[in-house]
A and B are shown apart, each in its own frame.
Chain A
């Protein structure tokens, strides 16, 4: 399940130094809460993405820990103050040990 999680990120390609930019991210994932039961009455085991991390030029700038109360296909947005050009790397950690990653370049004029 959810082995084909596809991340999508929206980062402005360009910004001026000092600009506050909003980073928007979305990833396809069931976020199985561990609270549901199947038709036979057995609890469906939890499998969620439990951590989102945003790194810019090697430095962690934002993280989110997610609990089962986060909706399916989790959305996360946050802000970043543009100073220098570089690259974001986003990582989503699945309960099953997989990591999903995405990158985005930012050019600061």
Chain B
């Protein structure tokens, strides 16, 4: 079913979500390996793995990784919250993508530093709405 009244999230909605979390703090690129398929045949189940470079010690670890999408009805996908006990900051899940769009993730380190990464997923059959 098509839902034309559905307002899809956009680049600005993702930026707003990140601002809500971190204000205007500087966000660097790097450190993050964002693993998503370039082409997803089925938007209902798209695998995602994020890994962030970090020693994962009590003094220096990855606190959280927030994942957003700029072409879904809502910008949020998931937030992964790590601890030094994880040993490495790596998490996998499966997401729904309504259409071809960018996945954006932001990693927050224990010292407050922020990093982000972006990747496009081309979706053949969308995974939202009816």
B-binding residues in A (CB < 8 A): 20, 33, 35-37, 56, 59-72, 74-81, 83
Contact = CB atoms under 8 A, between A and B. Distances in A.
A77 B79 CA distance: 13
B86 A80 contact: yes
Chain B binding surface SS class: loop
Interface in B49-107: 56, 69, 72-74, 76-83, 85-88, 90-97
Contacts of A35: 3, 6, 73, 128-129
Given A61-B83, A77-B92, A81-B85, 13 more contacts: A33-B128, A36-B1, A62-B82, A64-B78, A64-B91, A67-B78, A70-B94, A71-B44, A75-B92, A75-B94, A78-B91, A78-B92, A83-B85
Please classify how large the interface on chain B is, using the bins under 10, 10 to 19, 20 to 34, 35 or more. Answer: 35 or more
Contacts of A76: 91-93
Contacts of B23: none
Contacts, number: 105
Interface of B: 1, 3, 6, 44-46, 56, 69, 72-74, 76-83, 85-88, 90-97, 127-130
B92 A67 contact: no
